[in-house]
Amino acid sequence: MEPKQDAGTDTKAVSTAVSKVAPASQTAPDEVEPSFFKQHKFILIALVLVLIAIAVGFGLGRIGAGANKNNERLLLYGNVDLRQVDLAFNNSERISEVLVQEGDKVVRGQPLARLDTSRLKPQLASAQAEVDAQQAAVEKLHHGSRPQEIDQAKANVESAKADQINAKQQWQRLAALTSLTTGRAISQQDLDSAKDAMDMAQAHLIVAEKNLDLANIGPRKEDIAAAEAMLRARQSQLQVIQQQLADADLLAPANAVIRSRLLEPGEMSSPQRPVFNLAIGDPKWVRAYVAETDLGKVRTGMKALVSNDSFPGRALNGWVGFISSVAEFTPKSVETVELRSSLVYEIRVFVQDPQDQMRQGMPATVQLELDRGARSRS
């Protein structure tokens, strides 16, 4: 009987132990961490802190290197700028030809467009004829009387002398006959007529002698001056028409690029209506802005290096050609918050760009080499 009781007691103990172990196995999954990140979160936090420390140290090193570099160079940012020209005809006439397209490169003196000249050419011919006629008149006055004209005047004098002598002798004969006949042979009317003929012959002789003097002396200085003044007036009119004809060809004022073609053949031109908009490639400059604290480091003629993102690793030589004497607020194109409301001074850094790399409005970086005095002030 005792062994049976021991077996029952053991069975009860085992069942009791199993009942105690079973609840423990059901609660185990709730007590264990379900995620890998929760199990290793301290390790991840430590790694992030290490990376932040490395980044901060690298940034401080870059700042320190930049500060050392700024002691030798002043770094500025700006945009490329160049001169632009609105080109128009001087005359109001219909356009006959437009010879270039947008984007074409042109050289100084190259014809770009032409006007209709069908009405100018006849005016030019008429003005030229008037100048030629007046020029001949002036030359005639300068040359004076021809030898033949002088000989003719001398002959007129001799003829007048003969007429005067004949008329005088005729009057003398009639006067003597009147005295001998006590006025009965010759009437008083005939005697008076002879006297008048003698006086007229004497006057004709004086006129002929004066004409001979004028032929020998030549034209008056006043007549020559008046003719020369008239010639200059005709020449001026001719030059105006010649200039109008020359202005019928619209020429490029400098080496440039055609940015816009604004008028076409058949349209009417006028000095107020541009035909082209040109971008002149030389000179080019970078418009940048210097803070008041750095203004003392910059001077006219200072050498510079200009680069842009389109051609990395390639810098162009330049120099400071203009420093504004008036402060202004930083333009909107400068996006730095610290500088947006600051007062700055405009400078222009002229660039040597023989390969025509830089375009209007292109962002550019300018490095100014500081001299020792500027470094010490910094």
* Residue-wise pLDDT tens digits, 277-300: 999 888 889 999 988 888 888 999
CA distance 322 to 144: 65
Strand-by-strand arrangement of the 111-115 sheet: 95-98, 111-115, 249-251
Q: Is the pLDDT of residue 32 over 70?
A: no
pTM: 0.55
Q: Which two tokens stand for residue 249?
A: 């060809």
Measuring CA to CA, how many Å separate 367 from each of 314, 318, 364? 13, 10, 10
Q: Classify domain 74-84+281-377 by CATH architecture.
A: Beta Barrel (2.40)
Task: Report the DSSP pairing between strands 303-307 and 363-369.
Answer: antiparallel
| Averaged pLDDT for residues 260-276 | 95
Domain ranges in the chain?
74-84+281-377
pLDDT per position as a tens digit, 138-170: 988 887 777 887 888 888 888 888 888 888 888
